[in-house]
Structure 1
């Protein structure tokens, strides 16, 4: 490779040199290009690009940015990305993964436009990375200094068109299907190692040999388009709608979203779970219980979401729940050679390989300090520590999170330090504070302001524009290193933010998350109260979005009104929109409700008659419902989480069928189930109510 930076006097000659190096090493290079339109067109032409992604340039091979995702799963030669009017990092990384070895990725930038974006300034600095070239119309240009050896031999097996790692993965998939039950396989790899194509090839081979049904699940169908295309090509499968492919012998490969998979439990001979790192562990655990032959795949680093933290926790779960599981690591790149400069550049520029530091001693006192977002772009060490915390603590972290860290509006950052090492962090955003006219326009659907996610959601779903008039702070994420969890660090960070909000005279701190019992216990223990619950399960996480708030100083007039609306709607939604919600979560949400009225004396008397066996269930459903709702509100979540309480929730509140409730809780039918409800109710009633 070229070992020194080169002054640019002949840009075309420099590009020819770079193209030759890329072809001889079967690698890819990032090339920053800066100049006027005529210069850019000549450089794009010299790069021999197959496609240009731009909202400004024109031409037969130009695609607008809103269609860039159609490149996913494809293989392309040289590609040019026009970044002058904005930078979508997730799309950039996705497009980069489509470029094959021997080609260039041209990154069109404008160094003359004053950019307020701290992320963009940092991005331009990576034009001087050892793996990158920078070609300028005016000023100094440079070629990479990163050493790359000339490619030798073949990467792929000529007969099968697969790498050795892919062949091992295919063999492991076939063994899951034909070997002992309950012995899943886990395929792990960095992006570009061909695990999706290996799954597709294996599916095609299995389907060609006998009539098999193979289900594929992933947070989005776009994640598995590569899998489907390889299966269809290898197995000559025909299209059976958008989400299904069939073979002549009746075999079928079909896609189903994670939430639908667990809700409907479609039958299949083999389940392939692609991008498992983007699916919460509880859902993966349920898949293990329902399906006996499963193959999971996970991207260790990539734009799909960084999965190292997931892999560690998931391996521990597999050790407990599927002791005969097997792991296959795909190491060889499929579309480029080892030591690829573009891959090295992506890892550095977007911190895919950021690893958290480990304090020498974990007993040192924890100190909470504010971190200034304005200084992060020039403090690479702190930025890496923050991003590594996100990667380690959250199952879904993408390169765009890096943009939010550097450019997020109204961003508040707090760090928890053990000595000098960052072991926890809180990310928050200031929202609201709108003028009344703008607030009304948002509520009426005439305006939508970027950011302000919590404030706008609460206002638009209740029709209350006063929510937007007051400023609030939304806690976006809390991340703590695994070794420091369960030590109160998260609560320290929240309380420190509340103190900061108090000093700013901000009256409400809120948050939003996929509701589960564990997170509810954490937030409710800190005094956060429910204000809104989404009615659609997230397809990837399988959870409902829950929004909470806490008043710090003066309680705004709208706060109690929103909470009253929450409980009013929840009481009725439990039987419809939330009829499949986990009963423990239903109990938790209704506990301590101040919206549950006491049952009337006549209703309470009817409940006691039911408990004594004098009246049947069908005659007392209203009275029993009113009494039970009040009982939940008055009792702790610990009491509300027992099995009979769950049964009462499932039948009385969620209106699940007698057959389903009896089967779920181990009774022979309605008669036994109703008798158990009667006995439990009698135990909960005070003696005076039984007289």
Structure 2
């Protein structure tokens, strides 16, 4: 069979079923790219074509593999992915998602026999010093080759020789290993959208929908026209949830509502704004300024509000900004909600009405924290909650084989064990298991359960993480197993122990892959000896939601430490700091050594780094960095960290403990004047303004040792005023004081508690003076 003939048959097969097909061109790279041109010409497609390759000089649209994400939200009839260079699992998911129904994904690959030992980019991705490239596995590449050989809808062609100059290839040039053809019945067409006349949205809104599923979602979102409602839209990728949100936003704004949109990034909201702008134009509801440029570049338009003739608007804000509900919006719409931290989502519930749109199984790394933990908080909120799930694909038939192949190859549909299998798990019923990469590769059920747990617990588990799980030599996977099912898993990354040359390079500012904690300790915190000690960083830890709060996570950490403590100097962790997480890690013996001065643009959280030493070298490393953290944190809190949540500050400093510190805290070593100033506030006419430096020192003492009997609000007051220097009005409002005067008077009670706790001779003399 000639290549052109095969392509035409594949294309006809795909178009008839409104499905997609994969054409795998294996062999020499040049021959594969040449054959890809033949495929494009045979498919009679000129415009809707994109090549993903590190090469340049093509007449079609070309993207580097590192920029494959630019295809998200777009459609193509043919996407050619040159996998020989720059290949990644993330890019594979992103480019596949851009292929439209009836279209072809063309993969240019080495022969499938050679594939497990090729694709150097995957080796580069997991190559981490001090491990050699020879220690990197090829299990993911074996998995990819196996799925390409066996999954329906995938044609595999073996090319002969190098690139040819002919416009076509004859039967002697190729060997059709698989033709990829599927004997399908006529596809079931998508349900027709209908108008929901019992909603406040006009008929044109529903007429703009592409499926009945989408129209039903828009109808549910119409509840947001009434305050006190929350709507949750869940869907797999490609179901049109963002478009549904855009149509609903346009209808609400056209009626005069102020709609605030947020998403992990401005690009994530591009489809929402595009559909909203189109519908507002159709409704002739765009204000004059927006009417003139609503066809402008989508990415640019997303950052500019859409204003309507009724006085409504649709505007975008980053998640941390949106959480403050700027200008008091009527409605908040959150796209890709699963990619945002639960705490931030909870803040958005203060809006009068809020809609959450989230991807259930996504190749961009959407987790299930939304579906699991945030659902619990949403159920306790004051809003009436409406749920809707989209199942009909927009761009291809429901049983598209390429979607199923991608989900299987990249474990996009991995789920944790069913609740009933682990809901009786306790620390007494579980066993500790060392799960190596060979076990994962050989046991599909175990692999999917582990990945399902990680996805459920973390909002950014990506396909690239599957590659690391299978092939990275620096990673260790450990689990607690209940009745044969993993109920808690920990992923550990070996870091440090690098050569003297690498130590010098990192100290000089060079980035070294896979050594996050030593990198920060050395390059940012200027510790020339921070790279030498060896440790394990806890990259991920996840416990099944049906068995949380039973000590399983702590038990797993303890078992991991027991197993490895003789071989390493420290255990460590880095995470977006929240009070709950800081408390968890502190309870497990981890101490704060760093709090980043910049917040994550998506979560608004500052990263905390914590260490738990396991050797004398590790203790020396940890102790000096805890001391350095305590020395600099007061200055940082007065400037770059002045807006950090007071409970985060309390948790971070509380975990910055030093051994044998009781009774020797330098923060309590006030001179005679300092104690007189404090006693004056406690028993006399003294005020906070006369002794801010005293309260600053005592705040550090209190947060590290709980010196005085203070309430959580008292400690927050010390943080916000004495350490962060917030204005009195701000502090009083945040902490619920009736007035600024009451807020100031609270320092008298705080001062008295310290005086009673320490009871020095100076304090006693001062107290008698005021009493007499």
| Other-structure match for 1:173 | 221
CA distance in 1, matches of 2:368, 2:334: 17
Query: Of the candidates 690, 693, 705, which is equivalent to residue 634 of structure 1?
Result: 705
Deviations 1:425-469, CA, capped at 9 Å, x for gaps: 110111111222221111212x32221112112211112231112
CA distance in 2, matches of 1:201, 1:451: 43
1:651/1:657 contact within 8 Å kept: yes
1:655 aligns with 2:717: no
| Structure 1 unaligned residues grouped into runs of 5+ | 1-8
Deviations 1:609-643, CA, capped at 9 Å, x for gaps: 11113212211111222233223322189x66622
Query: Of the candidates 365, 369, 385, which is equivalent to residue 433 of structure 2?
Result: 369
Query: Of the candidates 310, 321, 325, which is equivalent to residue 260 of structure 1?
Result: 321
1:573 aligns with 2:636: yes
Structure 1 residue 675: Cα displacement? 1.3
State the secondary structure of the residue aligned to 1:60.
coil
Count of paired positions: 676
1:666 aligns with 2:666: no
| Other-structure match for 1:401 | 465
| Other-structure match for 2:557 | 494
2:367/2:459 contact within 8 Å kept: yes
Deviations 1:149-200, CA, capped at 9 Å, x for gaps: 32354655595342112112222323312x2x12111111111010111111
| Other-structure match for 2:108 | 108
Please tell me the root mean square deviation across aligned C-alpha atoms, in Å: 2.4
CA distance in 2, matches of 1:81, 1:284: 37
1:41 aligns with 2:41: no
1:84 aligns with 2:84: yes
Compared with structure 1, are the counterparts of its residues 264 and 213 closer, same or farther at alpha carbon in structure 2 (3 Å cutoff)?
closer
1:632/1:640 contact within 8 Å kept: no
Structure 1 residue 352: Cα displacement? 1.6
Which aligned pairs between 1:381-400 and structure 2 lie closer than 5 A? 381-400=445-464
1:215/1:256 contact within 8 Å kept: yes
State the secondary structure of the residue aligned to 1:104.
strand
State the secondary structure of the residue aligned to 1:301.
coil
Structure 1 residue 82: Cα displacement? 1.2
2:433/2:480 contact within 8 Å kept: yes
1:126/1:132 contact within 8 Å kept: no
1:454/1:474 contact within 8 Å kept: yes
| Other-structure match for 2:602 | 540
Deviations 1:22-43, CA, capped at 9 Å, x for gaps: 0001111223221232354224
| Other-structure match for 1:12 | 4
Which aligned pairs between 1:434-449 and structure 2 lie closer than 5 A? 434-445=498-509, 447-449=510-512
Compared with structure 1, are the counterparts of its residues 600 and 451 closer, same or farther at alpha carbon in structure 2 (3 Å cutoff)?
same
Which aligned pairs between 1:241-640 and structure 2 lie closer than 5 A? 243-247=303-307, 249=309, 251-263=312-324, 265-289=326-350, 291-358=351-418, 359=421, 362=425, 365-445=429-509, 447-504=510-567, 506-556=568-618, 557-591=620-654, 593-594=657-658, 596-598=666-668, 599-635=670-706
1:142 aligns with 2:178: yes
2:699/2:715 contact within 8 Å kept: no
Structure 1 residue 147: Cα displacement? 5.8
1:409/1:429 contact within 8 Å kept: no
State the secondary structure of the residue aligned to 2:562.
helix
Compared with structure 1, are the counterparts of its residues 281 and 377 closer, same or farther at alpha carbon in structure 2 (3 Å cutoff)?
same
Structure 1 residue 241: Cα displacement? 6.2
| Structure 2 unaligned residues grouped into runs of 5+ | 119-136, 161-174, 195-206, 282-289, 659-664, 768-772
CA distance in 2, matches of 1:109, 1:641: 64
CA distance in 1, matches of 2:722, 2:580: 24
1:53/1:81 contact within 8 Å kept: yes
Compared with structure 1, are the counterparts of its residues 234 and 444 closer, same or farther at alpha carbon in structure 2 (3 Å cutoff)?
same
Deviations 1:390-447, CA, capped at 9 Å, x for gaps: 12222332222212211224111112111322111110111111222221111212x3
Compared with structure 1, are the counterparts of its residues 553 and 406 closer, same or farther at alpha carbon in structure 2 (3 Å cutoff)?
same
| Other-structure match for 1:3 | none
2:496/2:518 contact within 8 Å kept: yes
Structure 1 residue 264: Cα displacement? 6.4
| Other-structure match for 1:151 | 187
| Other-structure match for 1:64 | 64
